[in-house]
Structure 1
Amino acid sequence: MTTAPAGVWLITPGHTPTRFASAHTAGADVALVDLEDSVPPAAKPAARTTARAFFTRPDTPASCALGIRINAPTTREAIQDLAALADYPVPPAVVLIPKVEAPRDLGVVAAALDVPGRRPLLYGLIETPHAVQNLSEIVRSDHLSGLLFGTADYAGSIGSTRAWEPMLYARSALVTHAAAAGIPVIDSPYFDLDDQDGLHAESVRVRDLGFRGKSCVHPRQVATVADVFRPTPEQIAHARAVVAAAEDAAGGIVRVGHQMIGPPMVQDARDLLARTRTDETAAGATQ
């Protein structure tokens, strides 16, 4: 299955065109223009029109895939979003669908946007208890390319805070189901814009849990998240050394540096190298 790049996702309100340039050049792997929660209801019609320009700017790096978050597919706003998207001169490579609770939500959007030779990558935003309960069905949809987690709406729907402990069950469920389906899962934004330490700590925790990336709501968060999710040259070199040593040993347990390396660690190294190649390829293919 073709997937959009993982890593750093940046969400920018669709009614603020003055922020489009910084969104494109902030260094994100995926830049989304938003028509949903960050846009006031009165500004949504204008945002649909303004967002067209998000996809026609010449300054977008080839490594940055461009996408859009529409409104929840069961709303009138979403119908208007999909009608507007059909007329965009440059279509989005990625479409993020909020409030996904069943495969039918993905099917509605796919039916409206898929045309011969052009199929946007659909990501489902999981942010309700029903969605978590239905993950096994959602991830089996042929239209799904990946998942995102929305802590704000999920916490509100279960009456909890967005702290680590109350969100851990849902995060673990998303990682498990996404891994079983072979698709990436991206974490929710961290909403305290001045707490870079907290952003870094949460990014490390979700990466270690199995998330492939994290979304941001401001360009100043991009570098911190990128430091966590993008493999360093040293990590890539180590992975290559592990794979090479394992191949020389015909799959047996080997020593690389100070570590004893067995089959699970070799597979981790292969996965890291494969993700790096996939993300590079996907970044170019979505342009």
Structure 2
Amino acid sequence: MPANRPERFGKAVAAGPDLVVLDLEDAVPVEAKAAARESAVEWIAAHQDVELLERAHPRLELRVNAPGTPWLADDLAAVAAIPEIRLRVPKVESAADVHRVLEQVPSAQITALIESPLGLERAFEIATADPRLVAVALGEADLRSSLGVDGSEGLAWARGRLVSASRAAGLGAPMMSVHARVDDVDGLRQTCAEGRALGFVGRMAIHPRQLATIVECFTPSAVQVAAAAELLAALDAAGGVVVLPDGRMVDPAMIGRAREVVALAREIELRP
């Protein structure tokens, strides 16, 4: 949500996402950044614990301006007094970028956006920079431009690299970047399927109308959940390699994925 549109903040929360990001960076013109910063910081400070947020259960993040820009210092100074503020830091290219932000806002939790080839090459270094870094994600528009690629095919390796770095760092499955065409439901569904196949769970959205499709695409099907539950039950009973009635040979190496499928389905079922 662009931070220069404060009249829409409450609507974003009420749409029922798991995460709302107020953006001070690319979505805000230079001449509006100071006012947007004031609006966003004031709103986050006032609404972290209100009834609306408790009911909808979204996390709040503030996407600050990028390292090296003239606005980042003011962004960080404005949020320094907010306890446990979650910051989405764009264009991160090194662990040092993460450290510099945390030196100024020690209580923050960081999501690092990787948007350049250099950042991608250092993805694991960034993902393990500090325990207060809780997620990594791709900024695909900038990354496409930097890599000189179009379409999902050109980003397949980058997406897989990001998933691997996130998992290796113990951060779990990352979320996909946005699908920028709001009315392109078929494209959204197709690219969600591609991301899910690569190991992503969930996705950022730029409009509430995208949320239902995203949830649908990343929710395990009833067949998948039943198969995972059957696998877990069979392995629990056998204690080793077992052949299921449908001919699948499974072993303990498959337990982790099956548990994730069952847990994700349960988490989505329990959402408000």
The TM-score by the shorter chain falls in which range? 0.7 to 0.9
For residue 108 of structure 1, what is the aligned residue in structure 2?
A: 100
Find the partner of 2:163 among 175, 183, 187: 175
Find the partner of 1:199 among 158, 173, 188: 188
Find the partner of 1:67 among 48, 56, 61: 61
Q: CA deviation at 1:276?
A: 6.4
Q: CA deviation at 1:35?
A: 0.6
Q: CA deviation at 1:80?
A: 0.5
For residue 35 of structure 1, what is the aligned residue in structure 2?
A: 24
Find the partner of 2:71 among 73, 77, 99: 77
Q: Deviations over 1:221-260 (max 9, x none)?
A: 1111111223456644543332122101113314166644
3-state SS of paired residue (2:244): strand
For residue 25 of structure 1, what is the aligned residue in structure 2?
A: 14
3-state SS of paired residue (1:187): coil
For residue 46 of structure 2, what is the aligned residue in structure 1?
A: 56
Aligned partners of 1:246 and 1:254 also within 8 Å: no
2: CA distance, partners of 1:160 / 1:240:
40
1:156 and 2:148 equivalent? Answer: no
3-state SS of paired residue (2:235): helix
1: CA distance, partners of 2:61 / 2:72:
15
1:262 and 2:251 equivalent? Answer: yes
Which residue identity is paired with 2:77? A
Find the partner of 1:242 among 231, 235, 240: 231
Q: Deviations over 1:31-79 (max 9, x none)?
A: 1111111111111101111112145343123531111111112222111
3-state SS of paired residue (2:204): strand
3-state SS of paired residue (1:172): helix
RMSD between aligned residues: 2.6
Aligned partners of 1:239 and 1:269 also within 8 Å: yes
Cα distance change, pair 204–105 in 1 and its aligned pair in 2 (3 A): same
Cα distance change, pair 237–25 in 1 and its aligned pair in 2 (3 A): farther
2: CA distance, partners of 1:55 / 1:232:
39
Cα distance change, pair 91–247 in 1 and its aligned pair in 2 (3 A): closer
For residue 189 of structure 1, what is the aligned residue in structure 2?
A: 178
Which residue identity is paired with 1:100? V
Relative contact order, higher structure (CA 8 A, sep 6+): 1
Cα distance change, pair 18–133 in 1 and its aligned pair in 2 (3 A): same
Aligned partners of 2:65 and 2:72 also within 8 Å: yes
1:223 and 2:217 equivalent? Answer: no
Alignment length, in residue pairs?
A: 265
1: CA distance, partners of 2:268 / 2:134:
13
1: CA distance, partners of 2:103 / 2:30:
25
Give the TM-score, by structure 2 length: 0.87
Give the TM-score, by structure 1 length: 0.83
Cα distance change, pair 185–256 in 1 and its aligned pair in 2 (3 A): farther
3-state SS of paired residue (1:42): helix
1: CA distance, partners of 2:168 / 2:266:
21
Q: CA deviation at 1:95?
A: 1.3
Aligned partners of 1:150 and 1:187 also within 8 Å: no
Q: CA deviation at 1:134?
A: 1.5
Q: CA deviation at 1:275?
A: 5.4
2: CA distance, partners of 1:62 / 1:43:
29
For residue 7 of structure 1, what is the aligned residue in structure 2?
A: none
Q: CA deviation at 1:100?
A: 0.3
Aligned partners of 2:219 and 2:268 also within 8 Å: no
Cα distance change, pair 14–65 in 1 and its aligned pair in 2 (3 A): same
Q: CA deviation at 1:213?
A: 2.3
Structure 2: which 5+ runs fail to align? none
For residue 99 of structure 1, what is the aligned residue in structure 2?
A: 91
> Where in structure 1 do 4 or more consecutive aligned residues deviate above 6 Å?
276-281
3-state SS of paired residue (1:27): coil
Q: Deviations over 1:58-112 (max 9, x none)?
A: 3123531111111112222111100111244x753x2111010000111111122
